[in-house]
Amino acid sequence: MSRAAIRYAKAVLSLAQDNKTTSAIQEDMQSIIATVDGSAELKMVLSSPLIKSEVKLASLKEIFKNVGEGTQKLFEVLIANKRIDLLPNVAKQYTILFDQLHNTQVAKVTTAVPINEALSTMVMAKVKELTGNEATIENSVDESIIGGFILRVGDLQYNASIAHKLTHLKRELSN
């Protein structure tokens, strides 16, 4: 993550706090992340030096016509400073800062089957134990872990998968 993206994200958050629009801008940023990640064409448009700034701004305003005024101003500032290619990184950094502000984190949970309510409760308890913060759960399914779960919160990882336990047991037996 570039330092410039972090600075822009901090500025947007500060302005959003002043205007009491942090949650609305958080929704806008999540929409930007999802849209840009899902569109190779949009990534190319944002990063291309051949496409004029006015075209980029018009495209963003058309694609994201439902975003708030603060997000629209971010587009304009990034265009004016010729840094519009940073938009996805600014959006990601904003969501991180927003979560820190509200003492929440994103817990990435990998399970062998889609997560159910009981496992979700266990994971939330483990996150609270490890970090002291609340978290929102992002679930991905990987059948190769056999059972259990792998939890990633920030730079922490907790591996409670059956595959990991089998590997550990195999190492113990070979020694």
Domains of the chain, residue spans: 3-100, 103-174
Per-residue model confidence (pLDDT) at position 67: 94
In this structure, are strands 148-153 and 104-111 parallel, antiparallel, or unpaired?
antiparallel
**How many other CB atoms are found less than 10 A from the CB of residue 137?**
15
**How many other CB atoms are found less than 10 A from the CB of residue 148?**
17
Per-residue model confidence (pLDDT) at position 127: 83
Per-residue model confidence (pLDDT) at position 175: 84
- Give, in order, the Cα–Cα distances in Å from 6 to each of 1, 96, 97, 147, 153: 7, 10, 9, 38, 20
Mean pLDDT calculated for residue range 94-101: 89
Q: What is the pLDDT of residues 9-37, one digit of tens each?
A: 999 999 999 999 999 999 999 999 999 99
CATH topology of domain 3-100: Peroxidase; domain 1 (1.10.520)
At 138 the three-state DSSP class reads: strand
